[in-house]
Homo-oligomer: A and B are copies of this chain.
Amino acid sequence: MKKIVYLILFIGISLNMNAANPDSLVVNKIYMEALADNTAYTNLEYLCTQIGGRLCGSVESEKAIAWAKKCLEEMALDTVYLQKLMVSHWTRGEKEVAYIKFNSAEIKNVHVCALGESVATPKNGITAEVVEVKSFEELIKLGKENISGKIVFYNRAMDPSKFITFEAYGGAAGQRFVGAVKAAEFGAVGVVVRSLTLLSDFTTHTGIMKYDSAGINIPAVAISTKDADLLSESLQTDKHLLFYMKTSCQFFSEKESYNVIGEIKGTESPNEIMVVGGHLDSWDNGQGAHDDGVGVVQSIEVLRLFKKLGVKPKHTIRVVLFMDEECHQRGGKKYAEIVKLKNEKHIVAIESDGGGFTPNGFSFDTSQDTLNAIKKWSSLLLNYGLYSLTKGHSGVDIGFLKGLGFPLIGLETDSQRYFDFQHAETDTFDKVNKRQMQLGSAAMASLIYLIDKNGIQ
Protein backbone atom coordinates (compact mmCIF):
# COMPACT_ATOMS: atom_id res chain seq x y z
CA MET A 1 0.00 0.00 0.00
CA LYS A 2 2.63 2.61 0.99
CA LYS A 3 -0.26 4.77 1.88
CA ILE A 4 -0.21 6.33 5.23
CA VAL A 5 3.44 7.06 4.81
CA TYR A 6 2.66 9.03 1.69
CA LEU A 7 -0.08 10.79 3.53
CA ILE A 8 2.49 12.14 5.91
CA LEU A 9 5.25 12.70 3.40
CA PHE A 10 3.36 14.38 0.63
CA ILE A 11 0.85 16.79 2.05
CA GLY A 12 1.87 20.15 0.75
CA ILE A 13 5.05 18.92 -0.87
CA SER A 14 5.12 19.46 -4.60
CA LEU A 15 7.44 18.80 -7.50
CA ASN A 16 11.03 19.85 -7.29
CA MET A 17 10.43 23.08 -9.11
CA ASN A 18 12.58 26.12 -9.33
CA ALA A 19 10.02 28.79 -8.66
CA ALA A 20 12.39 31.39 -10.07
CA ASN A 21 12.36 29.67 -13.47
CA PRO A 22 9.38 30.89 -15.49
CA ASP A 23 9.67 28.01 -17.99
CA SER A 24 9.32 25.57 -15.14
CA LEU A 25 6.20 27.36 -13.93
CA VAL A 26 4.55 27.34 -17.36
CA VAL A 27 5.38 23.66 -17.89
CA ASN A 28 3.86 22.90 -14.51
CA LYS A 29 0.70 24.78 -15.50
CA ILE A 30 0.54 22.82 -18.75
CA TYR A 31 0.72 19.54 -16.86
CA MET A 32 -1.84 20.57 -14.25
CA GLU A 33 -4.32 21.71 -16.88
CA ALA A 34 -3.78 18.65 -19.09
CA LEU A 35 -4.34 16.32 -16.13
CA ALA A 36 -7.37 18.12 -14.72
CA ASP A 37 -9.32 18.64 -17.95
CA ASN A 38 -11.42 16.03 -19.72
CA THR A 39 -11.67 17.51 -23.24
CA ALA A 40 -9.09 15.27 -24.90
CA TYR A 41 -10.50 12.16 -23.25
CA THR A 42 -14.04 13.07 -24.25
CA ASN A 43 -12.80 13.67 -27.80
CA LEU A 44 -11.16 10.25 -27.82
CA GLU A 45 -14.34 8.65 -26.57
CA TYR A 46 -16.34 10.22 -29.37
CA LEU A 47 -13.84 9.36 -32.10
CA CYS A 48 -13.56 5.76 -30.92
CA THR A 49 -17.07 4.88 -29.85
CA GLN A 50 -19.22 7.10 -32.09
CA ILE A 51 -17.12 6.86 -35.25
CA GLY A 52 -14.93 3.83 -34.63
CA GLY A 53 -12.36 2.22 -36.94
CA ARG A 54 -11.70 4.61 -39.85
CA LEU A 55 -9.63 3.10 -42.60
CA CYS A 56 -8.79 5.50 -45.43
CA GLY A 57 -11.53 5.56 -48.02
CA SER A 58 -14.21 4.41 -45.58
CA VAL A 59 -17.36 6.24 -44.57
CA GLU A 60 -15.94 6.32 -41.05
CA SER A 61 -12.81 8.11 -42.25
CA GLU A 62 -15.05 10.76 -43.82
CA LYS A 63 -16.97 11.11 -40.56
CA ALA A 64 -13.67 11.45 -38.69
CA ILE A 65 -12.52 14.21 -41.03
CA ALA A 66 -15.78 16.11 -40.54
CA TRP A 67 -15.64 15.60 -36.78
CA ALA A 68 -12.00 16.72 -36.51
CA LYS A 69 -12.67 19.83 -38.60
CA LYS A 70 -15.64 20.73 -36.42
CA CYS A 71 -13.58 20.13 -33.29
CA LEU A 72 -10.92 22.58 -34.46
CA GLU A 73 -13.50 25.12 -35.62
CA GLU A 74 -15.15 25.11 -32.23
CA MET A 75 -11.81 25.99 -30.65
CA ALA A 76 -11.82 29.32 -32.49
CA LEU A 77 -8.40 28.79 -34.01
CA ASP A 78 -6.99 31.32 -36.46
CA THR A 79 -7.19 28.90 -39.39
CA VAL A 80 -8.86 25.56 -40.00
CA TYR A 81 -8.76 23.83 -43.38
CA LEU A 82 -8.72 20.53 -45.21
CA GLN A 83 -5.86 19.43 -47.43
CA LYS A 84 -7.05 17.26 -50.31
CA LEU A 85 -5.39 14.02 -51.33
CA MET A 86 -6.32 10.71 -52.95
CA VAL A 87 -6.44 7.42 -51.03
CA SER A 88 -6.88 3.75 -51.85
CA HIS A 89 -10.13 2.13 -50.83
CA TRP A 90 -10.11 -1.44 -49.61
CA THR A 91 -12.76 -3.14 -47.52
CA ARG A 92 -12.56 -6.23 -45.39
CA GLY A 93 -16.05 -7.45 -46.24
CA GLU A 94 -17.67 -10.21 -44.25
CA LYS A 95 -16.11 -11.57 -41.08
CA GLU A 96 -13.35 -13.95 -42.07
CA VAL A 97 -13.79 -17.68 -41.50
CA ALA A 98 -11.02 -20.21 -40.97
CA TYR A 99 -10.64 -23.66 -39.51
CA ILE A 100 -8.28 -26.55 -39.22
CA LYS A 101 -9.60 -29.78 -40.68
CA PHE A 102 -7.85 -32.76 -39.18
CA ASN A 103 -7.46 -36.08 -40.96
CA SER A 104 -9.91 -37.39 -38.42
CA ALA A 105 -12.36 -35.04 -40.15
CA GLU A 106 -12.65 -33.11 -36.91
CA ILE A 107 -12.92 -29.36 -37.45
CA LYS A 108 -11.52 -26.62 -35.19
CA ASN A 109 -12.43 -23.01 -35.86
CA VAL A 110 -9.62 -20.49 -35.49
CA HIS A 111 -9.50 -16.71 -35.28
CA VAL A 112 -8.16 -14.94 -38.35
CA CYS A 113 -8.47 -11.56 -40.04
CA ALA A 114 -7.44 -10.50 -43.51
CA LEU A 115 -4.25 -8.50 -43.70
CA GLY A 116 -4.67 -4.96 -44.95
CA GLU A 117 -5.09 -4.73 -48.75
CA SER A 118 -4.97 -8.48 -49.18
CA VAL A 119 -6.96 -9.91 -52.08
CA ALA A 120 -9.93 -12.08 -51.15
CA THR A 121 -9.98 -15.85 -51.34
CA PRO A 122 -12.25 -17.36 -54.01
CA LYS A 123 -15.90 -17.11 -52.99
CA ASN A 124 -15.93 -20.57 -51.43
CA GLY A 125 -12.62 -20.12 -49.71
CA ILE A 126 -9.38 -22.02 -50.00
CA THR A 127 -8.64 -25.44 -48.58
CA ALA A 128 -5.06 -26.62 -48.66
CA GLU A 129 -2.32 -28.35 -46.74
CA VAL A 130 -0.08 -26.18 -44.61
CA VAL A 131 3.67 -25.62 -44.58
CA GLU A 132 4.97 -23.94 -41.43
CA VAL A 133 8.05 -21.73 -41.56
CA LYS A 134 9.67 -19.32 -39.16
CA SER A 135 11.85 -17.45 -41.63
CA PHE A 136 12.24 -16.67 -45.29
CA GLU A 137 15.39 -18.82 -45.25
CA GLU A 138 13.27 -21.84 -44.33
CA LEU A 139 10.88 -20.96 -47.12
CA ILE A 140 13.65 -20.86 -49.70
CA LYS A 141 15.09 -24.11 -48.39
CA LEU A 142 11.74 -25.87 -48.70
CA GLY A 143 11.44 -24.70 -52.28
CA LYS A 144 8.66 -24.98 -54.82
CA GLU A 145 8.28 -28.78 -54.52
CA ASN A 146 7.21 -28.50 -50.89
CA ILE A 147 5.22 -25.28 -51.12
CA SER A 148 3.35 -25.29 -54.43
CA GLY A 149 -0.40 -25.58 -53.95
CA LYS A 150 -0.15 -25.17 -50.19
CA ILE A 151 -0.79 -22.46 -47.61
CA VAL A 152 2.37 -21.05 -46.05
CA PHE A 153 2.04 -20.56 -42.30
CA TYR A 154 4.50 -17.93 -41.06
CA ASN A 155 4.85 -18.66 -37.36
CA ARG A 156 7.75 -16.49 -36.29
CA ALA A 157 6.87 -15.14 -32.84
CA MET A 158 7.91 -11.75 -31.57
CA ASP A 159 10.86 -12.37 -29.25
CA PRO A 160 9.63 -11.69 -25.68
CA SER A 161 13.16 -11.43 -24.31
CA LYS A 162 13.68 -8.06 -26.02
CA PHE A 163 13.25 -5.14 -23.61
CA ILE A 164 12.19 -2.82 -26.44
CA THR A 165 9.03 -4.28 -27.92
CA PHE A 166 9.55 -2.52 -31.26
CA GLU A 167 12.72 -4.58 -31.65
CA ALA A 168 10.69 -7.74 -31.17
CA TYR A 169 8.23 -6.40 -33.72
CA GLY A 170 11.01 -5.58 -36.15
CA GLY A 171 12.22 -9.16 -35.95
CA ALA A 172 8.86 -10.60 -36.98
CA ALA A 173 6.97 -8.02 -39.06
CA GLY A 174 8.57 -8.91 -42.39
CA GLN A 175 6.45 -12.06 -42.67
CA ARG A 176 3.31 -9.93 -42.56
CA PHE A 177 4.56 -7.27 -44.94
CA VAL A 178 6.07 -9.37 -47.75
CA GLY A 179 5.21 -12.92 -46.71
CA ALA A 180 2.55 -13.34 -49.40
CA VAL A 181 4.83 -12.14 -52.18
CA LYS A 182 7.62 -14.50 -51.15
CA ALA A 183 5.28 -17.48 -50.70
CA ALA A 184 3.64 -16.84 -54.08
CA GLU A 185 7.03 -17.11 -55.75
CA PHE A 186 7.04 -20.75 -54.67
CA GLY A 187 3.49 -21.41 -55.81
CA ALA A 188 1.68 -21.07 -52.46
CA VAL A 189 -2.06 -20.46 -52.66
CA GLY A 190 -2.38 -18.39 -49.48
CA VAL A 191 -0.56 -17.32 -46.34
CA VAL A 192 -1.43 -17.40 -42.66
CA VAL A 193 0.71 -15.12 -40.51
CA ARG A 194 1.10 -15.28 -36.74
CA SER A 195 -0.39 -12.13 -35.20
CA LEU A 196 2.21 -9.60 -34.18
CA THR A 197 1.68 -9.39 -30.46
CA LEU A 198 3.49 -10.48 -27.32
CA LEU A 199 0.26 -11.70 -25.75
CA SER A 200 -0.93 -15.26 -25.89
CA ASP A 201 -4.60 -14.79 -26.75
CA PHE A 202 -7.27 -15.06 -29.42
CA THR A 203 -7.04 -11.53 -30.81
CA THR A 204 -6.07 -11.01 -34.45
CA HIS A 205 -3.73 -8.23 -35.55
CA THR A 206 -4.06 -6.91 -39.06
CA GLY A 207 -1.71 -4.42 -40.77
CA ILE A 208 -0.66 -3.46 -44.25
CA MET A 209 0.83 -5.99 -46.65
CA LYS A 210 2.29 -5.41 -50.06
CA TYR A 211 2.07 -7.23 -53.36
CA ASP A 212 4.68 -7.26 -56.07
CA SER A 213 3.22 -6.05 -59.35
CA ALA A 214 5.09 -8.80 -61.18
CA GLY A 215 3.79 -11.67 -59.06
CA ILE A 216 0.57 -13.52 -58.36
CA ASN A 217 -1.52 -12.01 -55.58
CA ILE A 218 -2.45 -14.65 -53.01
CA PRO A 219 -4.71 -13.98 -50.01
CA ALA A 220 -3.17 -13.41 -46.59
CA VAL A 221 -4.64 -13.57 -43.10
CA ALA A 222 -3.32 -13.05 -39.57
CA ILE A 223 -4.09 -15.78 -37.05
CA SER A 224 -4.29 -15.28 -33.27
CA THR A 225 -1.22 -16.40 -31.31
CA LYS A 226 -3.13 -19.10 -29.43
CA ASP A 227 -4.50 -20.48 -32.68
CA ALA A 228 -1.03 -20.24 -34.25
CA ASP A 229 0.31 -22.38 -31.41
CA LEU A 230 -2.52 -24.84 -31.89
CA LEU A 231 -1.91 -25.05 -35.64
CA SER A 232 1.80 -25.56 -35.08
CA GLU A 233 1.21 -28.31 -32.52
CA SER A 234 -1.38 -29.95 -34.73
CA LEU A 235 1.06 -30.04 -37.63
CA GLN A 236 3.50 -32.00 -35.48
CA THR A 237 1.12 -34.93 -35.34
CA ASP A 238 -1.00 -34.42 -38.44
CA LYS A 239 1.26 -33.16 -41.20
CA HIS A 240 -1.45 -33.43 -43.83
CA LEU A 241 -4.18 -31.58 -42.00
CA LEU A 242 -6.08 -29.09 -44.14
CA PHE A 243 -6.60 -25.41 -43.48
CA TYR A 244 -9.66 -23.58 -44.71
CA MET A 245 -9.83 -19.82 -45.02
CA LYS A 246 -12.40 -17.52 -46.53
CA THR A 247 -12.13 -13.77 -46.89
CA SER A 248 -14.18 -11.35 -48.96
CA CYS A 249 -12.05 -8.24 -49.20
CA GLN A 250 -12.70 -5.81 -52.05
CA PHE A 251 -10.86 -3.02 -53.80
CA PHE A 252 -12.68 0.06 -55.06
CA SER A 253 -11.57 3.13 -56.99
CA GLU A 254 -9.37 5.68 -55.30
CA LYS A 255 -11.23 8.34 -53.38
CA GLU A 256 -10.73 11.91 -52.32
CA SER A 257 -9.72 12.32 -48.73
CA TYR A 258 -8.14 14.94 -46.53
CA ASN A 259 -5.61 15.92 -43.92
CA VAL A 260 -7.24 18.15 -41.32
CA ILE A 261 -5.26 21.23 -40.32
CA GLY A 262 -5.70 24.01 -37.78
CA GLU A 263 -3.47 26.83 -36.57
CA ILE A 264 -2.80 29.33 -33.85
CA LYS A 265 -0.88 32.08 -35.62
CA GLY A 266 2.41 33.15 -34.08
CA THR A 267 2.58 36.65 -32.63
CA GLU A 268 6.11 37.38 -33.83
CA SER A 269 6.94 34.96 -36.63
CA PRO A 270 3.63 33.71 -38.02
CA ASN A 271 5.36 32.27 -41.09
CA GLU A 272 7.50 29.96 -38.99
CA ILE A 273 5.58 26.81 -38.27
CA MET A 274 5.67 24.25 -35.45
CA VAL A 275 3.75 21.11 -36.41
CA VAL A 276 2.13 18.79 -33.92
CA GLY A 277 0.23 15.82 -35.27
CA GLY A 278 -1.02 12.25 -35.34
CA HIS A 279 -2.89 10.20 -37.90
CA LEU A 280 -6.64 10.31 -38.22
CA ASP A 281 -7.06 7.02 -40.10
CA SER A 282 -6.91 3.68 -38.32
CA TRP A 283 -7.50 0.03 -39.01
CA ASP A 284 -11.10 -1.00 -39.42
CA ASN A 285 -11.28 -3.94 -37.01
CA GLY A 286 -10.97 -2.00 -33.74
CA GLN A 287 -11.64 1.62 -32.80
CA GLY A 288 -8.16 2.99 -33.54
CA ALA A 289 -7.81 4.14 -29.94
CA HIS A 290 -4.11 3.80 -29.18
CA ASP A 291 -3.31 3.76 -32.92
CA ASP A 292 -3.76 6.64 -33.35
CA GLY A 293 -6.88 8.23 -31.91
CA VAL A 294 -4.69 9.16 -28.98
CA GLY A 295 -2.22 11.03 -31.23
CA VAL A 296 -5.11 12.93 -32.80
CA VAL A 297 -6.71 14.11 -29.57
CA GLN A 298 -3.34 14.84 -27.95
CA SER A 299 -2.35 17.04 -30.88
CA ILE A 300 -5.63 18.94 -30.71
CA GLU A 301 -5.13 19.23 -26.96
CA VAL A 302 -1.76 20.96 -27.42
CA LEU A 303 -3.57 23.88 -29.06
CA ARG A 304 -6.31 23.87 -26.44
CA LEU A 305 -3.70 24.07 -23.69
CA PHE A 306 -2.04 27.12 -25.24
CA LYS A 307 -5.39 28.87 -25.63
CA LYS A 308 -6.69 27.90 -22.20
CA LEU A 309 -3.53 29.02 -20.42
CA GLY A 310 -3.35 32.20 -22.48
CA VAL A 311 0.12 31.38 -23.75
CA LYS A 312 0.49 33.15 -27.09
CA PRO A 313 3.12 31.43 -29.21
CA LYS A 314 5.63 33.54 -31.11
CA HIS A 315 5.63 31.04 -33.98
CA THR A 316 2.57 29.44 -35.54
CA ILE A 317 1.44 26.17 -33.97
CA ARG A 318 -0.16 23.96 -36.59
CA VAL A 319 -1.97 20.75 -35.79
CA VAL A 320 -1.94 18.29 -38.69
CA LEU A 321 -4.19 15.23 -38.54
CA PHE A 322 -2.82 13.01 -41.27
CA MET A 323 -4.89 10.65 -43.40
CA ASP A 324 -3.74 7.24 -44.66
CA GLU A 325 -0.83 6.48 -42.41
CA GLU A 326 -1.79 2.83 -42.21
CA CYS A 327 -1.83 2.07 -45.93
CA HIS A 328 0.19 4.35 -48.21
CA GLN A 329 1.00 7.44 -46.17
CA ARG A 330 -0.56 9.67 -48.78
CA GLY A 331 -1.39 12.22 -46.08
CA GLY A 332 2.20 12.59 -44.96
CA LYS A 333 3.41 12.70 -48.54
CA LYS A 334 0.84 15.30 -49.56
CA TYR A 335 1.63 17.49 -46.58
CA ALA A 336 5.35 17.45 -47.38
CA GLU A 337 4.62 18.12 -51.05
CA ILE A 338 2.60 21.22 -50.22
CA VAL A 339 5.20 22.48 -47.74
CA LYS A 340 7.83 22.28 -50.47
CA LEU A 341 5.54 23.78 -53.09
CA LYS A 342 4.66 26.77 -50.91
CA ASN A 343 8.18 26.95 -49.52
CA GLU A 344 6.74 27.10 -46.02
CA LYS A 345 9.26 27.50 -43.24
CA HIS A 346 8.98 24.98 -40.42
CA ILE A 347 11.03 25.03 -37.24
CA VAL A 348 9.90 21.74 -35.70
CA ALA A 349 7.45 18.85 -36.19
CA ILE A 350 6.33 16.46 -33.44
CA GLU A 351 4.24 13.34 -34.03
CA SER A 352 2.46 11.16 -31.50
CA ASP A 353 1.92 7.61 -32.76
CA GLY A 354 3.13 5.38 -29.95
CA GLY A 355 -0.19 4.89 -28.18
CA GLY A 356 -1.66 6.44 -25.07
CA PHE A 357 0.89 5.04 -22.67
CA THR A 358 2.99 6.96 -20.17
CA PRO A 359 5.42 9.08 -22.18
CA ASN A 360 9.08 8.64 -21.36
CA GLY A 361 10.68 11.15 -23.69
CA PHE A 362 11.21 12.04 -27.30
CA SER A 363 13.06 10.50 -30.21
CA PHE A 364 14.85 12.99 -32.43
CA ASP A 365 15.52 12.67 -36.12
CA THR A 366 17.98 15.51 -36.17
CA SER A 367 21.68 16.30 -35.80
CA GLN A 368 23.54 15.57 -32.60
CA ASP A 369 24.15 19.31 -32.18
CA THR A 370 20.43 20.03 -32.24
CA LEU A 371 19.76 17.20 -29.81
CA ASN A 372 22.47 18.55 -27.50
CA ALA A 373 20.80 21.96 -27.64
CA ILE A 374 17.48 20.41 -26.68
CA LYS A 375 19.10 18.61 -23.78
CA LYS A 376 19.40 21.92 -21.97
CA TRP A 377 15.82 21.19 -20.88
CA SER A 378 16.68 17.68 -19.63
CA SER A 379 16.28 18.35 -15.95
CA LEU A 380 13.00 20.19 -16.40
CA LEU A 381 11.57 17.39 -18.56
CA LEU A 382 12.87 14.75 -16.16
CA ASN A 383 10.49 16.13 -13.49
CA TYR A 384 7.71 14.63 -15.61
CA GLY A 385 9.37 11.31 -16.35
CA LEU A 386 10.70 12.40 -19.75
CA TYR A 387 14.11 10.84 -19.29
CA SER A 388 14.75 9.59 -22.81
CA LEU A 389 16.01 12.21 -25.27
CA THR A 390 17.75 10.23 -27.96
CA LYS A 391 18.39 10.19 -31.69
CA GLY A 392 16.05 7.93 -33.61
CA HIS A 393 12.90 7.62 -35.67
CA SER A 394 10.37 10.48 -35.39
CA GLY A 395 7.03 9.60 -37.02
CA VAL A 396 5.85 8.00 -40.24
CA ASP A 397 3.84 11.03 -41.38
CA ILE A 398 6.27 13.79 -40.48
CA GLY A 399 9.11 11.60 -41.79
CA PHE A 400 8.39 12.91 -45.29
CA LEU A 401 9.58 16.34 -44.14
CA LYS A 402 13.08 14.99 -43.65
CA GLY A 403 15.85 16.97 -45.26
CA LEU A 404 14.19 20.36 -44.84
CA GLY A 405 16.59 21.34 -42.07
CA PHE A 406 14.44 21.29 -38.96
CA PRO A 407 14.09 18.67 -36.20
CA LEU A 408 11.54 15.88 -36.56
CA ILE A 409 10.50 14.54 -33.18
CA GLY A 410 8.52 11.51 -32.07
CA LEU A 411 6.78 11.31 -28.70
CA GLU A 412 8.14 8.19 -27.02
CA THR A 413 5.93 6.16 -24.71
CA ASP A 414 6.26 3.06 -22.58
CA SER A 415 6.12 0.42 -25.30
CA GLN A 416 5.45 -2.65 -23.12
CA ARG A 417 1.70 -2.84 -23.83
CA TYR A 418 1.71 -1.34 -27.33
CA PHE A 419 1.55 -4.63 -29.19
CA ASP A 420 -1.21 -5.95 -26.94
CA PHE A 421 -3.55 -3.78 -28.98
CA GLN A 422 -1.84 -2.72 -32.19
CA HIS A 423 -4.11 -3.26 -35.23
CA ALA A 424 -6.36 -5.55 -33.20
CA GLU A 425 -10.06 -5.57 -32.46
CA THR A 426 -9.05 -4.80 -28.88
CA ASP A 427 -7.64 -1.35 -29.74
CA THR A 428 -10.64 0.32 -28.18
CA PHE A 429 -11.35 3.38 -26.06
CA ASP A 430 -11.59 1.48 -22.77
CA LYS A 431 -7.96 0.35 -23.14
CA VAL A 432 -6.67 3.90 -22.85
CA ASN A 433 -5.91 5.26 -19.40
CA LYS A 434 -6.97 8.89 -19.25
CA ARG A 435 -3.96 10.12 -17.31
CA GLN A 436 -1.34 8.33 -19.37
CA MET A 437 -2.87 9.85 -22.49
CA GLN A 438 -3.08 13.31 -20.90
CA LEU A 439 0.62 13.16 -20.02
CA GLY A 440 1.40 12.78 -23.72
CA SER A 441 -0.47 15.99 -24.54
CA ALA A 442 1.37 17.78 -21.76
CA ALA A 443 4.74 16.47 -22.90
CA MET A 444 4.22 17.68 -26.47
CA ALA A 445 2.79 21.03 -25.39
CA SER A 446 5.73 21.54 -23.04
CA LEU A 447 8.34 20.86 -25.70
CA ILE A 448 6.52 23.08 -28.21
CA TYR A 449 6.37 25.81 -25.58
CA LEU A 450 10.09 25.52 -24.78
CA ILE A 451 11.09 25.58 -28.45
CA ASP A 452 8.76 28.46 -29.24
CA LYS A 453 9.95 30.57 -26.36
CA ASN A 454 13.67 29.82 -26.34
CA GLY A 455 14.49 28.47 -29.78
CA ILE A 456 16.84 25.57 -30.29
CA GLN A 457 20.47 26.60 -30.08
A residues engaging B (CB < 8 A)? 1-11, 13-15, 31-33, 35-36, 160-167, 169-171, 173-174, 177, 198-199, 207, 291-292, 325-326, 353-354, 358, 360, 382-385, 387-388, 392-393, 395-396, 399, 410, 414, 416-417, 420, 422-423, 433-436, 439
If the complex has contacts A11-B170, A15-B163, A167-B14, are A396 and B2 also in contact, measured as CB distance less than 8 A?
A: yes
Instruction: Return 29 A-B CB contacts under 8 Å, by A number.
Output: A1-B325, A1-B353, A1-B422, A2-B166, A2-B393, A3-B173, A3-B207, A4-B173, A5-B393, A5-B396, A5-B399, A6-B393, A7-B169, A7-B170, A8-B170, A9-B170, A9-B393, A10-B164, A15-B163, A15-B164, A31-B161, A35-B160, A35-B161, A35-B162, A358-B416, A385-B387, A385-B388, A416-B439, A417-B433
- The chain B residue sitting closest to A5, CB to CB, is B393
- The chain B residue sitting closest to A16, CB to CB, is B390
B2/A395 in contact, CB under 8 A: yes
A354/B2 in contact, CB under 8 A: yes
Per assembly, the copies of the chain total 2
B161/A33 in contact, CB under 8 A: yes
A10/B416 in contact, CB under 8 A: no
Selected from B13, B31, B387, the residue in CB contact (under 8 A) with A387 is B387
A163/B5 in contact, CB under 8 A: no
If the complex has contacts A2-B353, A13-B167, A435-B198, are A174 and B7 also in contact, measured as CB distance less than 8 A?
A: yes
- The chain B residue sitting closest to A395, CB to CB, is B2
B399/A420 in contact, CB under 8 A: no
Q: How far is the CA of A10 from the CA of B167 in the complex (A)?
A: 5
Of A8, A9, A383, A385, chain B has the most CB atoms within 10 Å of the CB of A385
- The chain B residue sitting closest to A363, CB to CB, is B2
If the complex has contacts A1-B207, A160-B36, A360-B385, are A6 and B166 also in contact, measured as CB distance less than 8 A?
A: yes
B170/A6 in contact, CB under 8 A: yes
Question: Smallest Cβ distance from A13 to chain B, in angstroms?
Answer: 7
Question: Smallest Cβ distance from A170 to chain B, in angstroms?
Answer: 3
B161/A11 in contact, CB under 8 A: no
Q: How far is the CA of A171 from the CA of B177 in the complex (A)?
A: 51
A173/B6 in contact, CB under 8 A: yes
Question: Smallest Cβ distance from A203 to chain B, in angstroms?
Answer: 14
Question: Smallest Cβ distance from A175 to chain B, in angstroms?
Answer: 10
Selected from B207, B291, B417, the residue in CB contact (under 8 A) with A436 is B417
Question: Smallest Cβ distance from A45 to chain B, in angstroms?
Answer: 12
Question: Smallest Cβ distance from A229 to chain B, in angstroms?
Answer: 13
Q: How far is the CA of A7 from the CA of B393 in the complex (A)?
A: 12
Contacts of A31 in B (CB 8 A): 161, 163
